[in-house]
Amino acid sequence: MATNPINSKKQSIVSQKDLNLLIRIIKTNWWIPLVVLPIFYIIGTFYVYRLTFIYQAQTTILLKSNDQYYQNNVLSDQTFYSYSSYVDNLNEQRVIQSYDLANKVVTKLRDKIQVSYFIVGKVRTTEQFQGTPFKINVESINPAYYEQVFDFRIIDYNNFEITFDQDGIKQTKKGKFGEDLIDSDLRISINRASFFTEISVADFKEIFYQFVVHTPEYLISSIQSNLTIENPEYTNILIIKLNDILPERAILILDTLNSVYSVSKLQTKFELNERTISYIDRQLDEITYSLKSIEDTMQDYKKNNSIIDLEWEKGDFLSKIGTYDNQKSKMQLEIGAMDDLEKYIIEDKDPQFLPPNVFIVERVGFMNKAVTDLYDKQIELNRVYNVAKETNPIIADLKASIKKTKQDLLIYINNTRKATRLQIENINREILTYINEAKLIPGKQRDILTIQRQAAVSEQLYNFLLEKRANTKIAKASIVPDMKIIETPRDIGVISPDKPGIQKSFLSIGLLVSIFIIFLRAFFYSKIKSVEHLRELTELPLIGVLPYVKEENNEGIIVDYSPNSVISEAFRNLRTNLLYANIGVDAKTYLVTSFLPGEGKTFTSTNLATIFAKSGKRTVLIELDLHKPRIFKRFGLPPQTIGLTTCISGLNTYEEIINETPIPNLFCIYSGPVPPNPSEFVLSNKLKELIDRTKQDFDFVIIDTPPAGLLSDSIYLVQQVDATIFVLNTRTSTKRVITFMENVIEANNLKNVLLVLNGISRMGKRYYYQGYGYSYGYGYGYGYGKGYGFKK
């Protein structure tokens, strides 16, 4: 049992058939991308050229810069107009993008951006910002003319002309440069630029200008819609970007926006400064009035309470109380001394030990003298006791004298003590009086201190506000904005359209179109150029391959006058393959047709009939293409007046229409005159009888028919022959032809349909020595399906 080679080894992912298909598609369609891609590149370049370029300008600012301008705040020691370390950048972005700020920019740039200037070219219209030879100043204009296009032409050095639509009617106005153009709907003045001279006027006259007057709302909306702000994370930096058709205008707008924003920041500080000064002035007026009221209150209080100087009164009271306290202390000391002396006298103690405080009572006076005398007498008595006896009269006199002195002292002490105590009581009363007076002083002093404190506070606040008012005045002269321009406005280039991207897109589209065209050509309109391609499309058996023959060699019977040529060898191979085709043992009738005219149907039928005749077989060639007969030309004959049509019409007999040819064993039945209704002749019974008779009289019958793709004649005749040869041409045959054939075969249940591929270029030996009948498997049961095959 034979081994299937497919099962004997692992099947490859990409087969040779797939590679052949890919190579064939590349070889037949390589030129398509080379044509389509440049076309789409040119279209993309032209499209990009027609687009309006959008430029972007950029500026960078720093919020809350460290360029502080004053270091004393009204309310604290912080910076005068201090902000916290965090700046709400989102709020600042909204301020920059606000309508009011954009309005200020538009107002400031009104003369420069209110009018847009255009130059109209053959392909596109371009807007100009600088370089136009004239400048338009709009004094007043009808609101209906805003955003309307005005045509402008320079007539000569002094005159111009503008054209515009008014209620659908073209209006033309002429004016002079440098003079106002006054109309009921507009008032404008147009001035020449510095480079507009009498020499250059000829060039400017050839240019077609346009201009448009914009409303402030349009300009504001345009700025807001094209303005973007970026805030890098964790920074106080704002990157402001503006998109515009004109980079110079974008730079100018951004520069003005920086200026207006900076001024707005300064204006806020100026307003704060003015409000601060106003507030300080109001506070100073209030404090001045308060100080005057306090002074009046102090004066009235002192007057009502008879106060001269509380401090002096307080000192006087304390001094007197202190004096009385001293006197009281001395008197109490004296009473103590007298009590001790009295005790000494009554107890009659040793005279050598008098009380130590006896002598502090009086330095002079009776008591001091009496005590001294008593002391002396006692000393003397003690001395006498040492030298005399008790009975000594001196002792008795001294004792009597001492007794008398003690009595006198006791009486004096008692009287003096009473007097001193009376003095103490008087002093206590005086002290109490002064103490009571002194107790009133703190209340008065407290009231006065309260009034003085109010006055001091008001005075300090007054001085503080005066100082801050002066500081605020000084600060106003040095106010700077708390934003800093890091990068001045600059042009960063074109941001749209993306020219390389668009061109790449067009190239991509061109590539897709190329692939789509290649796909259509490969699978629907691709010409069948090789045997391999034909095998990929159908399982119908291929009976022969014919090489390409030039037009000048395409007339006549080529196998007759060039028997050793490649084409003759191809027809001999075709004859051999037909003889071995598994059609039937007695198969002798072959119908030759094609899908369209010009595919080599007649060429194949005449040469095939000739090659059969040259092999010694009686062969007849029947021309059944009654619509456009051409076989007579192959034999170098004029149009024939006798043929099939005259036979079927009964004008001629069967024998009369059979014509011998210069080629031995080859006979021909021409079509005869072209009838008005060829299809009726094909469908007639006489034609069927004629074909049946030729089968009896000849070895092979070759029938040339009309193209099957245009007429149904050949499809009807297929049922009357043994085999049908369908000629395909590499220049015209596509997959659609194969689909048509398979549909016809399936619809009519046709058998024995064979293919011949005509027009193969560069046909080598492999088509002959390795080809037909054996290598392609036609004679060894190559399975095509539907019962097709070859004899062994």
pLDDT tens digits for range 243-294 = 999 999 999 999 999 999 988 888 877 887 888 888 888 888 888 888 888 8
Render pLDDT for 184-214 as a digit per residue (tens, 0 to 9).
888 999 999 989 998 989 989 999 999 999 9
On whether the CB atoms of residues 505 and 35 are closer than 8 A, the answer is no
Sequence length of the chain is 792
Q: 736, 517, 516, 518: which is closest to 21 by C-alpha?
A: 518
Sequential DSSP letters for 370-386: HHHHHHHHHHHHHHHHH
pTM comes to 0.55
Q: What is each CA distance from 663 to 72, 445, 645, in whole angstroms?
A: 128, 163, 24
pLDDT, tens digit, for every residue of 304-321?
A: 776 666 566 667 767 777
pLDDT at 48 over 70: yes
CA–CA separation, 134 vs 304, rounded Å? Answer: 90
What are the residues facing 620 on neighbouring strands? 667, 701
Task: Reply yes or no: is the peptide bond before residue 232 cis, omega within 30 of 0.
Answer: no
pLDDT (tens digit per residue) in 718-771: 888 889 999 999 888 888 888 888 888 888 888 889 999 998 876 555 444 433
Q: Which residue has the tokens 């005045």?
A: 473
| Sheet of strand 169-176, all strands in order from the earlier edge strand to the far edge | 125-128, 115-120, 208-213, 149-154, 159-166, 169-176
pLDDT at residue 71, as a whole number = 47
Task: Write down the mean pLDDT value for the chain.
Answer: 81
pLDDT attached to residue 384: 78
DSSP state of 38: H
Yes or no: say if 55 and 29 are a contact pair by the CB < 8 Å rule. no
What pLDDT is recorded for position 529?
80
Percent of the chain surpassing pLDDT 70 = 85
Beta carbons of 495 and 65 less than 8 angstroms apart: no
pLDDT tens digits, 556-569: 788 988 888 899 99
Residues 6+ apart with CB under 8 A from 738: 528, 534, 537, 538, 540
Residue 484 pLDDT greater than 70, yes or no = yes
